[in-house]
Amino acid sequence: MTLKVFLKLVEIQTKIASLFPFLLGILFAQFYFDTINIGNTLLFFLAMLLFDLTTTAINNLMDYQKAKDVSYKENTNIIGQEKIAEKTVIQLILMMLTFASLLGLWLVFRTNILLLFLGGACFIVGIFYTFGPLPISRMPLGEALSGVVMGFGIFFIAVYVNVAPTTLIDLSFHGTTFLLEGNVLTILKIFLVSLPTVFLIANIMLANNTCDLEQDISNHRFTLPFYIGKSNAVLLFNLLMYASYVMVILAVIFRLLHPILLGVLITLIPIRKNLQQFNQRQVKEETFSVAIKNISLFCGVEILLLAVSLGLN
């Protein structure tokens, strides 16, 4: 397998979706908690990236194996396109999953046992997103779970590995008893700040499922747009985008973010044009990229302003 084919198999262009909550979590930890742990940050980044590549490869393998449409299986799916042996894909998945797991365990050793449960929950959702007899991606839960696990999960862990465990939530053992304690208010603050990435990552899946609605039905994939209808799916896509701005405004009002973050509102101009384009046509080759453009523009500016706010704080 060539590098070019591997990058297509893992859809390297979509990894930006996990990079944004990671970077925002790191910057927020510095801004709000005034702390950073370079070693933990690098370990988490590598484990997160490897696992993201793994889940995408699993997704393409499952879509190939479960495909009912022969044309999709042979001409659209990357495994059929490039005539990749299924055994090769499985070996690659197992290798990446093993390395991601080992890095995760190392990070647990450097932080707290609770991270094992936090990361394990993300692993379970990621693997069973497309694997198993009833994959999450083939149900109307894909958008919600992908948004929460990636948008909030990655953001939260990025903060967690950079602060003292007792700052957020801590699990300790004393003989045969254990104690779980945490600060609910602080966790809610982190959740509020992470909501724009939750919404925008959910929008990537929503745009994908909306554009692929007819193809998904032919392959027996009944996603959220199937249940709510394409017009309502488009409406939800717009609402989640605008709600992202509302969350930033609320975070500034509650003094969780510096007022300079209101500068993200300037992205409303190009993003409104992107939304109009998607509202008119929901075609994979033409308008799915709107979801990628929106998250890149919104989160790109948010990251820049949050970095600037570190010098102003």
Q: How many domains does the chain have?
A: 1
The distance from CA 245 to its chain's CA centroid, rounded to whole angstroms, is 18
Single-letter residue type at 18: S
Quote the pTM value: 0.90
Q: Report the distance separating Cα 50 and Cα 294, nearest Å.
A: 25
pLDDT for 129-164, tens place per residue?
A: 777 777 787 788 889 998 999 999 999 999 999 998
Q: What is the pLDDT of residue 113?
A: 87
The distance from CA 202 to its chain's CA centroid, rounded to whole angstroms, is 8
Single-letter residue type at 274: N
Could you tell me how many helices (H) and strands (E) the chain has, helices first? 17, 2
Q: What is the pLDDT of residue 248?
A: 98
Q: What is the pLDDT of residue 85?
A: 86
Which residue shows structure tokens 């509650």?
254
Does residue 234 sit in helix, strand or coil? Answer: helix
pLDDT for 21-58, tens place per residue?
A: 999 999 999 999 999 999 999 999 999 999 999 988 98
Q: Report the distance separating Cα 97 and Cα 230, nearest Å.
A: 35
pLDDT for 214-247, tens place per residue?
A: 888 887 778 899 999 999 999 999 999 999 999 9
Which residue shows structure tokens 């998904």?
216
Domain residues for the domain of 196 are 3-312
Q: How buried is 19 (Cβ within 10 angstroms: 0-12 exposed, 13-18 middle, 19+ buried)?
A: middle
Residue 157: how many CA atoms within 13 Å on its side-chain side?
Answer: 33
pLDDT for 158-190, tens place per residue?
A: 999 999 877 888 888 888 888 888 889 999 999
